[in-house]
């Protein structure tokens, strides 16, 4: 079994949100978007179609 790590989630610095609800301090968040996940699925699908030639 071989792991194929595909990074589709990323760390972000989120600024303070003083006007949001009770107000939030600046912090970090890890997230991705549907587009990023879809691009990752496309990537590994291409690998599967091509066999193991790409790695």
Partner 1 sequence: MTPNIRSSRIRRATLAASALAASGALAGNLFGDYPSTADGYATWDSDLANIEGVAETGAGVYVAVLDTGLVPHWRDYFPADRVARTSARIRAARHFKAKKDVCGLSVTVGKMTESTWVGSAGSTHGTHVASTILGYSYRSNFDAINGFPLPPIMVRGIAPR
CA 50 to chain centre: 24
For position 35 contacting partner 1 by CB under 8 A, the verdict is yes
Which one of residues 22, 25, 49, 55 is an interface residue with partner 1 (CB under 8 A)? 55
Contacts of 46 (CB under 8 A, 6+ apart): 54
For position 2 contacting partner 1 by CB under 8 A, the verdict is yes
Q: Distance (Å, rounded) from C-alpha 17 to C-alpha 21?
A: 9
Would you tell me which residues interact with partner 1 (CB under 8 A)? 1-12, 14-15, 17-21, 28, 30, 32-33, 35-37, 39-41, 43-44, 47-48, 52, 54-55
């Amino acid at each position: 079994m071989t792991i194929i790590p595909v990074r589709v989630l990323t760390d972000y610095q989120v600024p303070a949100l003083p006007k949001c609800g009770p107000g939030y301090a600046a912090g970090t968040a890890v997230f991705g978007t549907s587009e990023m996940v879809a691009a990752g699925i496309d990537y590994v699908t291409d690998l599967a179609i091509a066999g193991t030639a790409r790695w």
